[in-house]
Structure 1
Amino acid sequence: MRETILLELRNKIGEAYRVTLPSLFTSQIFGLFGGTFLGKYFETIRTQFPGLLVVLPGMMGLRGNVFGSMASRFSTMLYLGDLEPSLRDRKVLKEIVLRMLISLIPIVMLWAISVATGVKKNALDVLLIVVTSTILVSFILGYFTSFVTIFSFRRGTDPDSVAAPLVASMGDFLTVPSLVLFILLIERSPEGFRLFNYAMLALFAVVAAISRVRKAEFVELRQVFITITGLALLSTISGSILAKFSGIIQASVILSFIYPSLLSSFGNYGSIIAAKTSTKLHLGEIESFICWKPLTDILALFTTAPVIGTTKLLIGIALVKLTTGMTVPSSAWMIVLTYPFMVLFIMFYSYTVSYFLFQKNIDPDHVAIPLISNNSDIFGTIYVVLMAKLMVGG
């Protein structure tokens, strides 16, 4: 039995480095790109547009969940023959418009919560920024999702194996830069910003008219909408923590740069374990909570965490020096030591949630992954605050 477990573990470690590590590293690069914009303009956001910090975690998670579910829907439609493998199919534009609607409502609710909790500075500008950003990014991300799903299907590759991580990474890639773009536009040309707002609203009206979205079609997605809205509202916890401790996070320098990448990687590790656990549960391979098969999945992925944590910090330090010329405190190396154990906690949490949801006859595929992704944002934000306190005191 011992030899079987060790052989299984070795095989899974090989798979983790061959298959999973490259996708984790790619996602990390996308997250660090967005983090560069966040870190460079963190003080401006914190002092002039603090409401964005409350909304930011929800925006990042929302886009991954909304367009990840769109990729899954398109995949199913392609296999059933309900969607032509072409971007010109009218259903593509219609689905993108529906996803814009699903995204806009929770975003406005998040903004309203930030105002209600006292974050009122430049509140109207923050609302315009998040609405305009949501329309623009949703349009780009919608067609990116459609292209990835359709292209992989036409190439004979299962879209379910490719689309979701790429879509989530592209969401991270676009979110923060788009917010910064509009902040810079406000500072340099308020009139130009207003004109761009009108242009985005006009674009939304035009594509909505062309797509001919009907109320019944929006109602069909009510379960997705309710789930995503609930998770977006839950993300105000991480947003409020980020806003409250933004000063100490900025003082650490490095954490404001790698914040999006940290949250993305924690969510990725958790989602991978949730997906693997769900498959094993459906196949009857997990007979009890204490079982060696899911444990080997967790341990195999755990071996990749030091690689991801170390490269994340090294690339982050390089980006800080290149964009700001600032020196990162030597205490930042605590991130390398603590990151793998935070990943381990997230993975055990993911396994536990998936297992007990299944015991309650709730399919982990439908609930666990978005829930874990959201919860990982909360845990990740708490982790960032703790690291900032250890690094700079306070």
Structure 2
Amino acid sequence: MGLAALVIAGTADLVAGFFMVSMEEYILLVPGMMVLIYAAIGMRGNIFGAMGSRLGTAMHIGTFQISFKKKSVLRSNIEAAMALTLAMSVLMAFIGWVIVWIMFGDTYDFLKFMFISTFGGLLAGLLVMVVNIVVAYIGYKRNWDVDNITAPLIAAAGDVITVPMIFLATKMAVEMDDIYTQVGAVVLVIVTVIFVLRVATRKSKRKRKVDEAKRIVVQSMPVLLGCVFLELATGVLIENEKLRFIDYGVLLLMMTSFLNEGNALSGMLTSRISSMFHMGTLPRTRLPPRETFDNFAIMYILALITFLYIMGIAYVCQPDDLEFVTLLCIVMLSALIITTIINFLSYYVALAALKFRLDPDDHCIPITSSLMDVISTVVLVAVITVFI
């Protein structure tokens, strides 16, 4: 089941890669475009991957129901995810614009940059939300192990939906009159502030019981803010190498898939370890116990299959950019290093979340996903530099 989800995710990621290749004009036209794209992709996976993990845990402990009533698990998660989506889109635009100005000295109109981030993020968030609910519904009805399917499918949905939505918002910002996009940006920021404050200040009718949507937002916001910087760092690394990726189309095509397969693997393993901790089936030790070794081995097998699959499709689509052996060496060496890091990082992040009495579902996936985005980018760029 996990392999099937990863293959589907890899295929969807390649679709996102095709969008990237076809939109080279906008990548070159808008300064910081790659910074914003990869930050938006990563944040979508962080927010909705964590939501999927929470729903999976609720299924494991028997509290999940398909219900949109107030205070239900599903509705609380929907409200929290949308509040976080809006808030992080605004923060990404502001922080990203400042970083691009500092790092590259060339900037785009601030309100247009804000419009691209918030409007594109809102559209993508709504669509990924639908995918998340459908996955939860089917998994609940068919008694699937959601930990195995949520992370890869949501990561893929985040890619294949976020990239075209960001480019749609970019096309609007470039081609529409400035006044429309600037007013739109201001309106979206105001709506974000009102909605986030409404959720974050909500009071529960029961004394001493915190509203679930409020709890998720309050606990997730500090972690996601840190993740914003990590995701933007990923974007900066790619922005700095964008000419190389554009010159070698196979790398640009494969980049989104490569990063998010690593992201999906880390999310899958983190979800499993978090659920095992929740259920008390995994001892909490300084070194990963033997119970985790089987999961580690599975990660290597899944990584080998999925990365080879991605490389094969990408090479068939762009056969003239790189020699096959060179591309194979780049992919295999990068995959080996990245998967090893995934195994240990997922365990220790889940363990740290429990040690500091944080909800693993709210923190593990965002942290591991953001760290893996940066680490995977550094590893891939370093390996590419060695072979090209």
Task: Give the match for residue 329 of structure 1.
Answer: 322
How far apart are the structure 2 equivalents of 1:292 and 1:95?
Answer: 34
Pairing partner for 2:229 from 230, 233, 245:
233
The CA deviation at 1:274 is 3.2
The CA deviation at 1:262 is 0.9
Pair 1:93–1:274, CA change in 2 (3 A): closer
How far apart are the structure 1 equivalents of 2:336 and 2:56?
Answer: 35
Task: Give the match for residue 341 of structure 2.
Answer: 346
Pair 1:276–1:388, CA change in 2 (3 A): same
| TM-score, normalised relative to structure 1 | 0.77
Please say if residues 186 and 193 of structure 1, whose CA atoms lie closer than 8 Å, have aligned partners that are also in contact: no
Task: Give the match for residue 8 of structure 1.
Answer: none
Task: Give the match for residue 55 of structure 1.
Answer: 36
How far apart are the structure 2 equivalents of 1:87 and 1:32?
Answer: 34
Task: Give the match for residue 132 of structure 2.
Answer: 145
User: Is 1:125 the counterpart of 2:106 in the alignment?
Assistant: no
1:169-206 deviation line (CA, Å, top 9, x unaligned): 2111101111222334455x42499479859968x969
Aligned letter for 1:329? L
User: Is 1:190 the counterpart of 2:176 in the alignment?
Assistant: yes
How far apart are the structure 2 equivalents of 1:335 and 1:53?
Answer: 22
Pair 1:93–1:132, CA change in 2 (3 A): farther
Task: Give the match for residue 206 of structure 2.
Answer: none
Pair 1:146–1:248, CA change in 2 (3 A): same
User: Is 1:40 the counterpart of 2:22 in the alignment?
Assistant: yes
The CA deviation at 1:374 is 0.9
1:1-394 matches, cutoff 5 A: 19-45=1-27, 47-73=28-54, 85-86=66-67, 96-117=78-99, 118=101, 119-157=106-144, 159=146, 162-187=149-174, 189-191=175-177, 194=180, 198=184, 215-216=201-202, 219-220=214-215, 221-278=217-274, 282-285=280-283, 289=287, 291-320=289-318, 327-330=320-323, 331-351=326-346, 353-354=348-349, 357=352, 360=355, 362=357, 365-366=360-361, 367-392=363-388
How far apart are the structure 2 equivalents of 1:301 and 1:75?
Answer: 20
Pair 1:196–1:261, CA change in 2 (3 A): farther
How far apart are the structure 2 equivalents of 1:132 and 1:53?
Answer: 17
| More displaced 10-residue stretch of structure 1: 159-168 or 25-34 | 159-168
Please say if residues 342 and 372 of structure 2, whose CA atoms lie closer than 8 Å, have aligned partners that are also in contact: no
User: Secondary structure at the residue paired with 2:107?
Assistant: coil
Aligned letter for 1:36? F
Please say if residues 17 and 256 of structure 2, whose CA atoms lie closer than 8 Å, have aligned partners that are also in contact: yes
The CA deviation at 1:78 is 7.8
Aligned letter for 2:309? T
Aligned letter for 1:144? V
Pair 1:278–1:136, CA change in 2 (3 A): closer
| TM-score, normalised relative to structure 2 | 0.78
Pair 1:362–1:77, CA change in 2 (3 A): closer
How far apart are the structure 1 equivalents of 2:347 and 2:57?
Answer: 28
| More displaced 10-residue stretch of structure 1: 283-292 or 137-146 | 283-292
User: Secondary structure at the residue paired with 2:108?
Assistant: coil
Please say if residues 56 and 147 of structure 2, whose CA atoms lie closer than 8 Å, have aligned partners that are also in contact: yes
Please say if residues 269 and 343 of structure 1, whose CA atoms lie closer than 8 Å, have aligned partners that are also in contact: no
The CA deviation at 1:264 is 0.8
How far apart are the structure 1 equivalents of 2:224 and 2:55?
Answer: 18
Please say if residues 103 and 134 of structure 1, whose CA atoms lie closer than 8 Å, have aligned partners that are also in contact: yes
Please say if residues 58 and 235 of structure 1, whose CA atoms lie closer than 8 Å, have aligned partners that are also in contact: yes
Identical columns (%): 18
Please say if residues 357 and 364 of structure 1, whose CA atoms lie closer than 8 Å, have aligned partners that are also in contact: no
Pair 1:248–1:301, CA change in 2 (3 A): same
Pair 1:244–1:61, CA change in 2 (3 A): same
Please say if residues 120 and 168 of structure 2, whose CA atoms lie closer than 8 Å, have aligned partners that are also in contact: no
Which of the pair has more CA radius of gyration? Answer: 1
The CA deviation at 1:312 is 0.8
How far apart are the structure 1 equivalents of 2:289 and 2:57?
Answer: 32
